[in-house]
Chains A and B, each alone.
Chain A
Amino acid sequence: MNMREKIEAAAARYPDQRSAIMPALLIAQKDHGHLPGPVLEEVADILGVERIWVYELATFYTLFHTEPVGLFHLQLCDNLSCMLRRSEDLLRHLETVLGIEKGGTTPDGLFTLSTVECLGACEMAPVMQVGDDYHGDLDIARIDALLDRLRATAGQATGAADLAAAAPPGE
């Protein structure tokens, strides 16, 4: 299914097209990586809803990105339970080894590093979400191993298309 078909299928679940803006944005973001203006317009067009409504949602919710993000989005939880288990140390470590600050993207476009609010997995704190997957009970060694694995996945890909395909498993 192309993006339009996927969005139309999602919209069929609701009595009102406006409800489908969120699912449509999730679909569009999967397809495009992020949500620049023209994509928002396209979503509005497909659903026949006001453009400003789409823009409102794309900026209200933190999972939507109107700016590009790296291939691997490292989302480290720094909420209370993770903080109590020293997620700050992990953040500092990640900033050092990636050479970026929180919120930044590595120059090779591989990693974007963010901190996020509670991921709802405090039993395995500290936790980081990368793509669709949760990685729990982290410490510095595990972080390093994870980064190596991610780099290896990306390394196997060559062209840009491959790189996109190498993105963490999704739907």
Chain B
Amino acid sequence: MVSVTIDEQTLEVEAGSTVLQAAERLGIEIPTFCYLKRLPALASCRMCLVEIEGQRRLQPSCATAVTDGMVVRTNTPLIDETRSSMLDMLLANHPLDCPICDKGGECELQDQVMAYGPRESRFRDAKRVFHSADIRLSPVIIMNVNRCIQCQRCVRMCEDVVGAVALGTIEKGMDTAVTGFEGSLASCDQCGNCVEVCPVGALMSFPYRYKARPWDLVETDTVCPHCGTGCQLTVGARKGEFMRVRSKWEHGVNRETLCVRGRFGLDFVGSRDRIKRPMIRRDGALVPVSWDVAGDYLRRRLSAVESKAAGGLASPRLPNEVLYQFQKLMRTVFRTNNIDCSSRWSTPFETLGPLVAGFYTRAPLEEVIGNDCVLVVGGNVTDENPVTEYLLRDAARRRQTTLIMLSARPSRLDADARAVVRVAPGAEAASLAAVAAALVAGAGQNSVGEVIADIDATTGGPAATTGSDGPDRLAALLLKGRSVTVLVSADLLRLSEARATLQQLTNLLRVLRVLGKGPAMQFLFDRANQLGAWDMGVLPAVLPGLRPVGDHAARTALIRAWGAEIPPEPGADLDAMLALCDKGRVGALYIVGSDPLMTYPDRGFVKRALDATDLLIVQDTFLTDTVGLADVVLPAAGYGEESGTFTNNEGRIQAVRKFREPAFEARGNLAILDFVAALRNQAMQPSMQGEIFREIARLVPAYQGLTQDGLGADGAFTKAAPGPPAGAFFASPPAPNAADRLMLVTGNCLFHNGYLSERSEILNTVADDPYVEMSAWDAAQLCLSDRDQVVVRSAQGELRAQLKVNRHFPPGLVFVPENYRDLRLNSLMRRGEYPCPVEVQKAHAAFATGVGARPESRGQGIAELPGSSP
């Protein structure tokens, strides 16, 4: 600690703190422009100059480290004059077109001139004008170079934080201008973080352009609906109409950054693709009806199938309260544990449960990746969880965290990693086993002999081999680390080997724990409330709080609290439910906010199963493919139309707030669940969001004691009680077969991660067309080149799209993003088989444009939708 005196106040600060930080602690305001908390100091704007005793010149407080006994002054006439002089100079060439500037009213330059500026400028000469018109750098980013004050926040944000390196600075001196390569940002991430950090109206959001004045906006702090990172954002609406998204430094895991989906992908709330009225199937076609008519119809149909099995599927993007209420409804009203929350994979909870219970670390990501070694397993964090990726990059670059990547898909973060282990898709389990074995071998027998022997015995020791030295290198780095964090992509759950992968992950974490690495673990979910959905018990084998259905104490407690019976046996997961449907054994299948026909492997199978279901109830906001097969369609409030909470990947529970009224005849999800229960002559008690939250806080252990008021701006952390891992180590998986075929995997791309993003007009304008990605090596083997139209064919089906050759891809891997409806990717997949073996070839010339003829036409089953036409 060192002591510093600023404006006569003395304070102790940590060595290495800057004068600016020390002043902030004292509540002394020092104006800045180029300074941005998460970036290294640039010290170029010279607004923050202060007097330091013993120094000839004024010093930039943002970049000057405090030394013991330093005496600083920020309130002298010289400093007033200097600040005013800097502002005067900045204004000399500034266009002062505040009335037509989007930033007017929330502009840092305006504010600082108000506070420190010259009241009058002496500048009488002609101003410099770069361009008379603004430059459209990309579909979403527009630049007014004349207003730029050269703080370089945007460029540094783009390179240092986002890692995109799309923005740069050209020319020099007075001609200096921020722009993209040859004046275009066509190939950037479009995350708009540059726009967010621009202190003036130089970089602007095109979609928001000239739309509103900031003081006309009603702003609502809420949480992004896209991925599980759970970024905080602020929605600006005018007269109930969505206008824009901004973000704030003070709040959330994301600290002012967002990805393209968060910043530009919320316009889906206004999508025309809404279900406007309830619909029921009449003479084979869906027809819009009133809620009353739908209710009567549904009551009749429900009682007709009462004796048969029921099942429910709800989206991991719904708020906790809705999910909690949904499983309660299924268990108590439909009297079934057939509940699931993923339409894309099965969740082997008997393996996942202990892993989550034993290792899931509910703590801020920033803290978790403060460990000196971070291993990221699976997926592509750059595309799936961009803001998490920013934090990882920052840790690797600025905190010297050792970053290790183990995955089939390459990502941009690989460039910042100390080691990258590329595994064949499907061989993740074997690789993890090899890492654990290498750790055991590397650790020697010294301190942990017995356990090691135990591991050796059960896993078969270093027998697990993947034929590469990757696992050894990786283990060596893990051994060097003092503390280790493992971040796991939920993508691993897609694998047919998911169970084995989770087992080996458990082994690895146990070994790390034995070795004293205090491992922290979090999942990287691609759905906003996936962890919440698990916590709420939207799974066939567990009750709320992730307690097995067979846990007698837990079940009785819930039965008492709910005043209703809960079936004692675990239920069927989605796959098993669909199989039951297929056999004609399911009466009512209740799907909320989910589109399995689009996403569950083997579209043909899903269609057959849904067709064979007696009563398919779909409650959704948008017209999905699954809606087209429903018997009853219930229009639900969408994101932003009801309040609730999400639990993000960190285990942080945050308020998701309403910023508009449900459109058309849509009703809140809770109200609809109530409505359905009433049709069965039951009442859901409690039924209001706030009360349900309180019930969750009472009955779900990790949520115990939370209050909605207590969530505050930054949310609150749910608390897990990690149980000691029990039982023996899992045996090694069989060595994977070396695949001699191309293997297709899927996942999210940067611009899309589900059917919400696909309904964002803005995202659609910036996203690439549907594409197929493969390595340069494979492409060369197949005589294919970048941008060729190709056909991807599996045993089940085929699709056509444009080829993207990626020189970072490993041979053998083919990637098609899962979120392009028109591709019908799931029609290529087979249940239980992932990755999917495929062939790729050049599309026949006749098909060379766009997506070819589709096997079935979309929206089939919807005869006529007067309620949904624009």
Contacts and interface: CB of A to CB of B under 8 A. Distances in A.
Interface of A: 37, 40, 50-53, 55-56, 59-60
B194 to A, nearest CB: 13
B172 A52 contact: no
Which interface residue of B167, B180, B182 has the most chain A CB atoms within 10 A? Answer: B182
Nearest to B177: A59
B666 to A, nearest CB: 45
Contacts of A60: 170-172
A50 B182 contact: no
Interface residues of B, number: 11
Nearest to A37: B182
A53 B168 contact: yes
Contacts of B181: 37, 40, 51-52, 55
Contacts of A52: 165-168, 180-181
Given A37-B181, A52-B166, A60-B170, 9 more contacts: A37-B182, A40-B181, A52-B180, A55-B168, A55-B170, A56-B168, A56-B169, A56-B170, A60-B172
Contacts of B168: 52-53, 55-56
**Main secondary structure on A side of the interface with B:** helix
B802 to A, nearest CB: 20
Contacts of B171: 59-60
A37 B182 CA distance: 7
Contacts of A59: 170-172
A33 B182 CA distance: 19
A40 B168 CA distance: 14
17 contacts: A40-B181, A40-B182, A50-B165, A52-B167, A52-B180, A53-B165, A53-B168, A55-B168, A55-B170, A55-B181, A55-B182, A56-B168, A56-B169, A59-B171, A59-B172, A60-B171, A60-B172
Interface in B160-203: 165-172, 180-182
Interface of B: 165-172, 180-182
A116 B181 CA distance: 27
A55 B166 CA distance: 11
Nearest to A61: B172
A56 B158 CA distance: 15
A63 to B, nearest CB: 13
A50 B167 CA distance: 10
A50 B412 CA distance: 13
Contacts of A53: 165, 168
A56 B168 CA distance: 7
Contacts of A55: 168, 170, 181-182
A53 B165 CA distance: 8
Nearest to B175: A59
A52 B168 CA distance: 6
Contacts of B167: 52
Nearest to B180: A52
Contacts of B166: 52
A75 B327 CA distance: 79
A6 B182 CA distance: 25
Which interface residue of A37, A50, A51, A52 has the most chain B CB atoms within 10 A? Answer: A52
B178 to A, nearest CB: 10
Contacts of A56: 168-170
A40 B167 CA distance: 16
A58 B167 CA distance: 15
A52 B180 CA distance: 6
Contacts of A51: 181
A55 B167 CA distance: 10
A114 to B, nearest CB: 16
A49 B170 CA distance: 17
Nearest to A58: B170
B107 to A, nearest CB: 27
A55 B182 CA distance: 7
A67 to B, nearest CB: 13
Top 10 closest pairs, chain A to chain B, by CB: A52-B168, A59-B170, A50-B165, A51-B181, A56-B168, A37-B182, A52-B181, A59-B171, A60-B172, A55-B181
Contacts of A40: 181-182
A2 B525 CA distance: 49
A169 B166 CA distance: 38
Nearest to B807: A48
Contacts of B165: 50, 52-53
B179 to A, nearest CB: 8
B359 to A, nearest CB: 38
Contacts of B169: 56
A164 to B, nearest CB: 25
A61 to B, nearest CB: 8
A51 B165 CA distance: 9
A59 B181 CA distance: 11
A52 B158 CA distance: 12
Contacts of B172: 59-60
B283 to A, nearest CB: 59
Contacts of A37: 181-182
A60 to B, nearest CB: 5
A161 B166 CA distance: 37
B9 to A, nearest CB: 43
A94 B61 CA distance: 51
A39 to B, nearest CB: 11
Nearest to A54: B181
Nearest to B170: A59
Contacts of B170: 55-56, 59-60
